[in-house]
């Protein structure tokens, strides 16, 4: 009778040489490890069905990404403390014993790193063990740490493997602008005098007329139509309610069974994401039930696959990020953000924060539905100089369309007093998920980054209304200095019907 290992082998089939390589060094059945030993646990986990939370392999038989130890990433290690291959000097037993505590520490580190505008490797930030399965997750962490060397030596079906990013270089990616306090590379890049030296006279008046050429280029593309947007917005007239509403401070969120206002645990910092023993999640006053948290993990897992980074941290031909790089290479002007690979995937905690907001905001939808509507789980940003912004944005749209992506929404915010830029939402038919693409000039991107903390406060429901108004005024003052690129106002909003 075939055992679990045999069924796994059948599932893997000839397309999974990686697993064969992984298992080749273990003479199965010849030597039984001591029950309860690391080797025994490793064997048992490898016999779990692929996709099982404790299995070291995904549904598609690819190994799960190795879990980085965040404290090793964010703290400069003394040379004497760091072994030559970067491996943790502690024993496997120590790792197993400390795994749960490390998962909590990793979660806390994630917040600290985000708050400081530093970086977290996406795979690491999204792999905090859930409380419900913390024993299994702990074992999983240990297992993957132990097997990392073997995974790396397996056959590699990809061309490149990037070096792990510096922990200080990855952004907190939440915000309308893929925002983050600048990474080192970004800061250097943004500090170039390109936009500061821009001739303001070259920019259009935001409300000024557009040249016929510019307008023609958008109106003749034929694949989107602003009229559909206009039709959609004329459903009902504005409210004419004259009731006098008394001033009152915002009340805390309703106390319900599933989304009560979060009381901070006195034993931990309030700003740390926390996964409870039951698998629930909370952060910044947001809360997900265990089921909702699992839904978020699943949705983010789909994003991770679609984004394209493989288990070794590199990219092959498939996936959205390689596709975006190919599109970038075809552009006459403009480029993706230099650290696109770091920014593209939303961190697990930011993803869950967004889902928690959507669940509260859309009570007539399920968490499963809403998880698929987190449109910026993957986000890309193209930067153009002001002179070529309109043409470059048009060309990028054309390339995206030509690559098989479907435009669902485009919003031209250049006439907004606050946020400047164009945001768009696209669907990747291959992975059946949506992602966001932003189009900026150097100046608009720079302001969106410098004002990101303002944006976070503005969109925090706990911010008092008068304070929010004050912050929006400051944001608008900062944006007022951004030159509006020629022709950009002719780019119409768009929303796909249906």
Partner 1 sequence: MPGDIIYYALVGAGRTAQAPSGLARRRYAGPDGQVPVDEALRRELTWEPDSAIAEWEFGEVGADLVEISEAVAARLAAGWRVLWDDGG
Which residues would be at the binding site for partner 1 (CB under 8 A)? 176, 232-233, 235-248, 250-251, 253-254, 256, 259, 357-358, 360-365, 369-370, 372-376, 408-411, 413, 416, 418-419, 421-425, 436, 455, 458-462, 465-466, 468-469, 472, 495
Using the minimum distance from each CB to partner 1, give the nearer residue, 31 or 244.
Answer: 244
Let me know: does 46 contact 56? Beta carbons within 8 Å: yes
Q: How far is the CB of 453 from partner 1 (least distance, A)?
A: 14
Minimum CB distance to partner 1 smaller for 211 or for 261? 261
Distance of closest approach, residue 182 Cβ to partner 1, in angstroms: 20
How many residues are there in the chain? Answer: 498
The secondary structure of 109-176 as a DSSP string is: HHHHHHHTT----HHHHT-PPPSTTHHHHHHHHHHHHHHHHHHHHS---SS--PPPPPGGGPPP--ST
Least Å distance between CB 149 and partner 1?
42
| Distance, CA of 196 to CA of 147 (rounded, Å) | 50
Closest approach, Cβ 236 to partner 1, in A, equals 4
Q: How far is the CB of 279 from partner 1 (least distance, A)?
A: 21
* Rounded (to 5) percent helix, strand, coil in the chain: 45, 10, 45
Classify the C-alpha dihedral 364-367-368-372 as positive or negative.
positive
Residue 152 Cβ vs partner 1, minimum distance, rounded to whole Å:
38
DSSP 279-315: S-EEETTEEE-HHHHHHHHHHHHHHHHHH-B-TTS-B
Closer to partner 1 by CB, 220 or 248: give it.
248
Q: Are 273 and 349 in contact (CB under 8 A)?
A: yes
Coil/strand/helix, residue 474 = helix
Q: Give the number of C-alpha atoms closer than 13 A to the C-alpha of residue 229, restricted to the C-beta side.
A: 13
Task: Rank residues 42 and 495 by Cβ distance to partner 1 and give the closer one.
Answer: 495
Is 293 within 8 Å of 107 (Cβ atoms)? no
| Cβ neighbours of residue 347 closer than 8 Å, sequence gap 6 or more | 110, 114, 120, 122, 125, 126, 172, 173
Query: What is the phi-psi region of residue 195: left when phi exceeds 0, alpha when psi lies from -120 to 50, beta otherwise?
Result: alpha
Centre a 10 Å sphere on the Cβ of residue 27 and count the other Cβ atoms it contains: 8
Question: Shortest gap between Cβ of 119 and partner 1 (angstroms)?
Answer: 24
Q: How far is the CB of 411 from partner 1 (least distance, A)?
A: 5
Please say which residue, 21 or 372, places its beta carbon nearer to partner 1.
372
Q: How far is the CB of 241 from partner 1 (least distance, A)?
A: 5
Cβ distance 406 to 422 under 8 Å?
no
Q: How far is the CB of 91 from partner 1 (least distance, A)?
A: 47
Only one residue has tokens 């557009």, namely 210
Report the residue number, 315 or 419, with the smaller CB distance to partner 1: 419
Residue (83 or 261) nearer to partner 1, CB: 261
Least Å distance, CB 365 to partner 1, is 4
Rounded to whole angstroms, the Cα distance separating 283 from 384 reads: 36
Nearer to partner 1, 31 or 251 (CB): 251
Of 369 and 477, which CB lies nearer to partner 1 in the complex structure? 369
Taking the least distance from each CB to partner 1, the nearer of 20 and 466 is: 466
Rounded Cα distance between 474 and 480, Å, is: 10
| Nearest CA among 432, 427, 429, 292 for reference residue 365 | 292
Considering beta carbons, is residue 47 or 472 the nearer one to partner 1? 472
d(CA 280, CA 130): 8
């Amino acid at each position: 009778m075939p055992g679990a290992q045999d069924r796994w082998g059948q599932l893997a089939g000839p397309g999974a040489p990686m697993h064969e390589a992984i298992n080749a060094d273990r003479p199965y059945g010849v030597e039984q490890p001591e029950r309860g030993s690391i080797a025994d646990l490793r064997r048992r986990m490898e016999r779990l069905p692929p996709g099982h939370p404790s299995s070291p392999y995904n549904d598609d038989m690819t190994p799960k990404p190795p879990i980085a130890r965040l404290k090793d990433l964010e703290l400069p290690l003394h040379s004497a403390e760091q072994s030559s291959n970067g491996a943790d000097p502690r024993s496997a037993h120590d790792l197993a014993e400390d795994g749960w505590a490390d998962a909590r520490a990793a979660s806390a580190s994630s917040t600290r790193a985000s708050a400081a505008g530093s970086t977290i490797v996406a795979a690491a930030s999204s792999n905090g063990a859930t409380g419900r399965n913390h024993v299994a997750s702990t074992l999983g962490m240990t297992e993957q740490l132990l097997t990392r060397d073997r995974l790396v030596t397996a056959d590699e079906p990809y061309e490149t493997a990037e070096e792990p990013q510096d922990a200080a270089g990855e952004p907190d990616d939440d915000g309308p602008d893929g925002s983050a306090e600048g990474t080192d590379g970004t800061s250097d890049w943004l500090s170039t005098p390109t936009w500061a030296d821009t001739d303001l006279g070259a920019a259009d008046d935001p409300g000024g007329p557009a040249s016929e050429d510019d307008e023609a280029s958008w109106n003749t593309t034929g694949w989107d139509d602003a009229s559909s947007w206009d039709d959609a917005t004329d459903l009902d007239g504005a409210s004419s309610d004259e009731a006098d509403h008394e001033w009152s401070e915002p009340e805390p969120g309703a106390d319900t069974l599933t989304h009560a206002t979060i009381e901070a645990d006195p034993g931990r910092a309030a700003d740390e994401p926390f996964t409870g023993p039951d698998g629930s999640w909370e952060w910044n006053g947001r809360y997900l039930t265990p089921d909702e948290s699992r839904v978020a993990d699943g949705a983010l897992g789909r994003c991770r696959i679609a984004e394209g980074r493989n288990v070794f941290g590199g990219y092959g031909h498939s996936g959205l990020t390689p596709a975006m790089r190919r599109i970038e290479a075809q552009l006459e002007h403009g480029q993706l953000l230099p650290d696109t690979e770091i920014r593209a995937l939303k961190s697990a905690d930011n993803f869950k924060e967004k889902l928690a907001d959507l669940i509260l905001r859309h009570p007539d939808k399920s968490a499963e539905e809403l998880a698929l509507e987190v449109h910026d789980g993957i986000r890309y940003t193209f930067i153009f100089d002001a002179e070529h912004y309109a043409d470059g944005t048009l060309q990028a749209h054309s390339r995206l369309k030509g690559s098989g992506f479907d435009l669902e929404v485009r919003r031209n915010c250049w006439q907004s007093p606050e946020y400047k830029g164009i945001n768009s939402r696209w669907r990747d038919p291959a992975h059946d998920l949506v992602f966001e693409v932003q189009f900026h000039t150097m100046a608009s991107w720079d302001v969106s980054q410098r004002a990101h903390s303002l944006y976070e406060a503005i969109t925090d429901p706990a911010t008092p209304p008068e304070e929010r108004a004050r912050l929006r005024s400051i944001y608008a003052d900062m944006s007022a200095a951004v030159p509006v690129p020629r022709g950009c106002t002719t780019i119409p909003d768009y929303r796909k019907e249906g």
